[in-house]
Structure formats: C-alpha cells, structure tokens
Amino acid sequence: MRRWRQPPYGKGTEVLEIFGRPLQRGSAMHDVADVTITTGYFVTLGVRLLRGRLFTDQDRPNTEPVAIVDESLAREYFPNADPIGQRVRIRDERRPHAWASVVGVVETERRAVVYQEMSWTEPATVFRPLSQETDRSVSIAIRAAPGSTPPGASVQREIASLDADIAVGEFQLLRHDIAVFLAYPRFRAVLLGAFAALALLLAAVGLYGVLGQFIAQRRKEIGVRLALGAQPRDVGRLVAQHGAMPVFAGLAIGSACAVALGRAMAGLLYGVQPRDPFTLAAVGLTLLLTALIAISLPARRAASADPVDSLRQE
C-alpha cells in the first residue's frame, strides 16, 4: 500500500509509466512518488506553479484524468520534451490506474531521508486530484495565521461532527516535525561551532603570545631603531609583517584543504554548497579580522616603546 507523508518526510517507491514509451526496467527504472491532493495543497505548503495550471473544482470523477508533476520528474523523464500534455500513470497490477494528462509542473519539494542524517532528496513526484483518485487515508495540512492558536482541536471536532467513526490522528506543527528531525544535527553544529570558536580564540592568543615574545627578544634592536630615527609606524610595520606571514600561509593552506575536502562534506551541508565562495570569503574575513586584532596590540605596544628604556633594560 502506498505510504506518503507530508514534508519533511517521505520518499516514493512507485513505478511511472509514460504513454508511448516502453516501461523502464532494471537499473534504468526510477522510483517516483504518487500523491493525491486537493486543490489547495500547493497554496497551503507554498509550492510554486512553474508551468501549466493547478487542479480546479472542474477536475471531477467524470472528467478526463489529470496529473501534475514536479520539476524533478520533468527533468528526469522529459529532459528534451515539454511534460505538459504527456500522459502518465502509476504502474499498479492490483489496482490499474487510468492514463492521466499532465496539466502542470510545480517546483520540487525537498524531503528528508529518514535513515540518513541530514540527507535531503528531491523525489520525482506525480500529483493527482483527490476528487479523481480517492485513498483510504488522508493527511490534512492547515496554514494558520502567525501567532494564532493551532486549529487542530477545532478540526478534530468538525470531523467528528461529520462522522464520529472516522479515526483522526494527532495534529502536529510542521516546524515541530522539522525541529525533531534537525535536533541532533543542530546540537552537533552548535558543538562544532563552539569548538571552532575556541580554536579561533586559542589561535589569536597564540599569535599574540608569539608576537609578544618576538618583541621581547628584539627589544634592543627596536630601541636602536627608534634611537637612530626610525618612525614608530616603521616599528609597528615590522611587527605586523612578522605576524602576518603565518596568518596568510595558514589561510592559503586552509583554503586549499577546504576546497579539496569540500566534496566529502557535501552530505553534512544544507542550503549551501561545499565550495560556496561567499562562505569561504566570510570565514577568511573572520580569520583576518581576528588576526588583525591579535597583531595590532603588540604592534602598537612596540611602536610606542621608549628607546631609552629599551636600551637601559638590555
């Protein structure tokens, strides 16, 4: 029996037949999702129509069967053709379906792969109107106004008033379902972020300490330079150059490693590409700003040093 839940969960395992084409078998056969919906499904979940039309009240049992496919299915099954007007059906030997004409293409819903953490899929999906293809169970999606009370209880009462024998499950907020799925990945991201922040702090402290040691070891040289007429900014530039060399070397090596290892990290990322230039630029800018703070303090201290005191201490 077909099982399909509302986002974020669900993955189809049906076989699609296309009128006029031989049925794909073996490794060439792809799984699709078969979903029966009402006319308000796409508006409620915010799924955009890309081409054609949505289902209307005119799509009734005694009219021509129609279907809507998502962009993923259109890209996979009709790469060089317009899916609008094509005739498709879900293969079911126990319950033969009528051929349905494709009347629209919608954007693909991103779904979670339950058995693979933080993995997302865009299953090829065929949508059919509930008025033409009934099912033994349905899921109800409700879009409520922000800040309003969840209408689950009132919907349950309304269904019970129509037929008390209908079994109604519990209502759940969509953000709650998503939060449950993302709970551990989010905790892991916070933990890794904390370790990364600690590593950044340790690097800044280490750089500050190295430059402090550099100034202490070359105190006499700095005093001589200042006594002979060197400007404080020249001394500060000397310290800054000494601190900038390992920073730029580390950025170059780190950027190369990030690009090289980006493919291995792709399965842990959502909403961003492993080689996203803006992310890499933001990380590099953060490291540069941190290094600038760590370098500027010792450089300013060296530039403001009294040459007489420096020579006297030596």
Four-point Cα dihedral 29, 33, 39, 41, nearest 10? -140
Domain segments of the chain: what residues?
Answer: 14-141, 145-172, 175-313
Residue 29 has pLDDT above 90, yes or no: no
Burial class (CB in 10 A: 0-12, 13-18, 19+), 135: middle
Q: Residue 25 has which token pair?
A: 């078998």
Residues of the chain above pLDDT 70, percent: 76
Q: What is the pLDDT of residue 305?
A: 62
Task: Give the residue-averaged pLDDT of 251-271.
Answer: 74
Banded pLDDT at 27 (limits 50, 70, 90):
very low
Residue with the larger pLDDT of the pair 87 and 267: 87
- CA-closest candidate to residue 7, choices 155, 159, 121: 121
Q: Smallest Cα–Cα separation from 16: which of 2, 30, 5? A: 30
- Is 80 exceeded by the pLDDT of residue 75? yes
Q: Cβ distance 300 to 236 under 8 Å?
A: yes
Is pLDDT larger for residue 177 or for residue 115?
Answer: 177
What is the tens place of the pLDDT at every residue in 167-216?
777 777 777 777 777 777 788 888 988 998 998 889 888 888 887 777 77
Cα dist. 57→54, 215, 288 in Å? 10, 81, 60
Q: Per residue in 80-107, is it b (16+ CB within 10 Å) or e — as a string?
A: eeebbebebbbeeeeeebeebebbbbbe
Give the pLDDT confidence score for residue 271 in this predicted structure. 62
> Under 8 Å CB-to-CB from 282, ≥6 apart: which residues?
none
pLDDT(92) > 50:
yes
Q: Who has greater pLDDT, 1 or 84?
A: 84
Does pTM top 0.75 for this prediction? no
